[in-house]
Amino acid sequence: MKKILAVALVAFSLGGCATPFGTLIKNVETAVTIGTASIANPVTKTRLNTLERGLNVIAVGLNSWKKDCDDGVIPATCHDQIAAVRVYTLQAKPVLVRLRVFVKNNDQVNAVSAFNNIVDLIADIKAGAAAGGRTINTGS
Amino acid sequence: MVDITAILSTLTKGLGIVNQIIGAKAIPAVTVLQNALPVVVALTELATAAQAGEVTDEQLTATETILDANLDAFNAG
């Protein structure tokens, strides 16, 4: 009886945190691909370039998704799903502009913060696209 | 960009001088090595960074231009 109760509790708790767990996995995946920044691991121009190239791969994938949606190749619900992802890509643009200035001025405190902000947004973008049935990776 | 060839050339000359000093027994070899160790560590880090390759401003600008175009296209709706 105790065993059954324990299994039910575990199943319930796993089911209850499925979404946060999925987000955590996405964040870890992005952090491993692009890395996160810290004062000990500063944002150099090379790291900025790596981040931007990764984000560009995502942007290309998003535009392909958008084209399929506009062409009616995929179900019409894609318009809402794309709009949900666009919330994050619209946030990314101004952060990216600030990040570039911080890196060029070697303002590492703000650069690290902006860099990690973009990494989080990339995870949100990928998770949003995945929720809409589109798998988008940052590449290598 | 770091000139790795120049660094290696300077390092080789420096090691030659160190070898002469040790050979002449002017300074104990252990003392020389203790002083040289931080330099070797720094040079190793420098060489690693140089081999990894730093992106040029032109390359970065090119990446940014492409990314801006793709991101703006998606954001345009």
Question: Is A81 at the interface with chain B, CB within 8 A?
Answer: no
Residue that wins the pLDDT comparison between A30 and A3: A30
Other C-beta atoms within 10 Å of B66: how many?
A: 15
Nearest chain B alpha carbon to A70: B77
How high is the pLDDT of residue B8? 67
For residue A49, give the nearest of B63, B72, B77 by CB distance: B63
pLDDT tens readout for residues B3-22: 666 666 777 777 777 777 77
Query: Does A72 score more than 70 pLDDT?
Result: yes
pLDDT tens readout for residues A23-61: 555 555 565 556 777 766 789 999 999 999 999 999 999
User: What share of chain B in percent tops pLDDT 90?
Assistant: 26
DSSP assignment letter at A138: -
For residue A90, give the nearest of B53, B67, B75 by CB distance: B75
Structural element, H or E, at residue B40: helix B29-52
- Do the interacting molecules here have an ipTM over 0.90? no
Task: Kindly list the residues from chain B whose CB atom is less than 8 angstroms away from the CB atom of residue A44.
Answer: 54
Task: Kindly list the residues from chain B whose CB atom is less than 8 angstroms away from the CB atom of residue A48.
Answer: 60
Q: pLDDT-based confidence at A16, cuts 50/70/90?
A: very low
| Average pLDDT of span A115-136 | 92
Residue that wins the pLDDT comparison between B33 and A133: A133
Query: Does B36 score more than 50 pLDDT?
Result: yes
How high is the pLDDT of residue A27? 56
| Average pLDDT of span A105-122 | 94
d(CA A68, CA A76): 10
| Average pLDDT of span A110-129 | 94
Query: Does B46 score more than 50 pLDDT?
Result: yes
Nearest chain A alpha carbon to B49: A46
| Average pLDDT of span A4-9 | 36
How high is the pLDDT of residue A3? 41
Mean pLDDT rounded to a whole number for chain A: 80
How high is the pLDDT of residue B31? 73
For residue B75, give the nearest of A55, A56, A93 by CB distance: A93
Enter the pTM of the model: 0.62
Q: Of the candidates B35, B33, B43, which has an alpha carbon nearest to the alpha carbon of residue B6?
A: B43
pLDDT tens readout for residues A77-111: 999 999 999 999 999 999 999 999 999 999 999 99
Q: Could you write out the DSSP letters of every residue in chain A?
A: -HHHHHHHHHHHHHHHTHHHHHHHHHHHHHHHHH----SSS---HHHHHHHHHHHHHHHHHHHHHHHHHHTTSS-TTHHHHHHHHHHHHHHHHHHHHHHHHHHHTT-HHHHHHHHHHHHHHHHHHHHHHHHTT-------
